[in-house]
Amino acid sequence: MEKQKVAVVTGGMGGLGEAICRNFHEHGYRVIATYSPGNQHAATWLKTQQDAGFDCKSVMIDVADFKSCEAGVAKILSEVGRIDVLVNNAGITRDTTLRRMSLEAWQEVTHTNLDSVFNMSRQVIEGMLECGWGRIINISSVNGQKGAFGQANYAAAKAGVHGFTKALALEVARKGITVNTVSPGYLRTKMVMAVPAEVMEKKILPEIPLGRLGEPAEVAALVSFLASEEAAFITGANMSINGGQHMC
């Protein structure tokens, strides 16, 4: 009997990360969500999920810090023994034009959105190689593909994510491991829904040919597919899911 697969989702509490965790749970995975050291709501979130019948474990990891990732992954391995799927989802924004962007704003975003992908992938790759099977799915963004005003830091980091994906995919392709990127557009998350209605109606929605925001569950379904056996021939790919906002 095949062992239950284990999926680790960084930034798994809330928004897209939560949707990805839930989808994996529904597909029979053992799910571990990571959260940042500053998250004061982790215990409440876990209790809410458990009350709703969603059994999810958690571990605190600062994904921007290599040592924290090392310790966090070691903790996961000591408790569950394996990591079959890694979803590098954690990310932040610090939007402003380059003329006003501080070094701190640049580094915060690149450390959290790009360095984290190395920091976490480096911890799990040996185990996947030993098993001869693994899935790494990196969450980028439509703005990493097309750029965005006031997001030089974010766009650069998210574009770098796919460069990382392609290189690692080549390194491990013959070892039963696939590495792919998912680049969502604007989704119906709390962060996006906090945008002023006028901006949403006049600037964001007109750019989306389908005329609506994406649902986190739609992206989560794509991530789940890429983690499946059915997607074993897909690697080094960037899967756009943006309602037609950017076609490539």
**Rounded mean pLDDT, 123-151:** 96
Q: Is the pLDDT of residue 2 over 80?
A: no
Confidence of residue 40 (pLDDT cuts 50, 70, 90): confident
| Greatest C-alpha distance within the chain | 58
* Contact in structure between 78 and 26 (CB atoms under 8 Å): no
Long-range contacts (CB closer than 8 Å, 24 or more residues apart) made by 190-193: 190/14, 190/15, 191/15
Q: Which residues are catalytic?
A: 154
Find how far residue 158's CA is from the centre of its chain. Answer: 11
What predicted TM-score, i.e. pTM, was given to this entire model? 0.96
**Rounded mean pLDDT, 198-203:** 91
Q: Which of 30-34, 115-119, 196-200 has the lowest mean pLDDT?
A: 196-200
What strands, in cross-sheet order, belong to the sheet with 134-139? 56-60, 30-35, 6-9, 85-88, 134-139, 177-184, 238-241
**Rounded mean pLDDT, 50-56:** 84
**Rounded mean pLDDT, 32-41:** 91
DSSP codes of every residue in the chain: -PPPPEEEETT-SSHHHHHHHHHHHHTT-EEEEEE-TT-S-HHHHHHHHHHTT--EEEEE--TT-HHHHHHHHHHHHHHHS---EEEE---------TTT--HHHHHHHHIIIIIHHHHHHHHHHHHHHHHT-EEEEEE--HHHHH--TT-HHHHHHHHHHHHHHHHHHHHHGGGTEEEEEEEE-SBSSHHHHTS-HHHIIIIIGGG-TT-SPBPHHHHHHHHHHHTSGGGTT--S-EEEESTTSS--
According to CATH, the topology of domain 6-189+216-241 is Rossmann fold (3.40.50)
Nearest CA to 160 out of 173, 134, 141 is that of 141
Grouping H, G, I as helix, E, B as strand and the rest as coil, residue 240 is strand
pLDDT digits (tens, 9 = 90+) for 204-238: 999 999 999 999 999 999 999 999 999 999 999 99
**Rounded mean pLDDT, 4-26:** 95
**Rounded mean pLDDT, 107-131:** 98
pLDDT digits (tens, 9 = 90+) for 162-192: 999 999 999 999 999 999 999 999 999 887 8
Residue 191: predicted pLDDT: 78
What residues does each domain of the chain span? Answer: 6-189+216-241
Residue 209: predicted pLDDT: 97
* Contact in structure between 135 and 178 (CB atoms under 8 Å): yes
- How many whole angstroms separate alpha carbon 151 and alpha carbon 143? 8
* Contact in structure between 40 and 64 (CB atoms under 8 Å): no
pLDDT digits (tens, 9 = 90+) for 76-85: 999 999 999 9
Confidence of residue 1 (pLDDT cuts 50, 70, 90): low
Find how far residue 46's CA is from the centre of its chain. Answer: 19
Residue 52: predicted pLDDT: 83
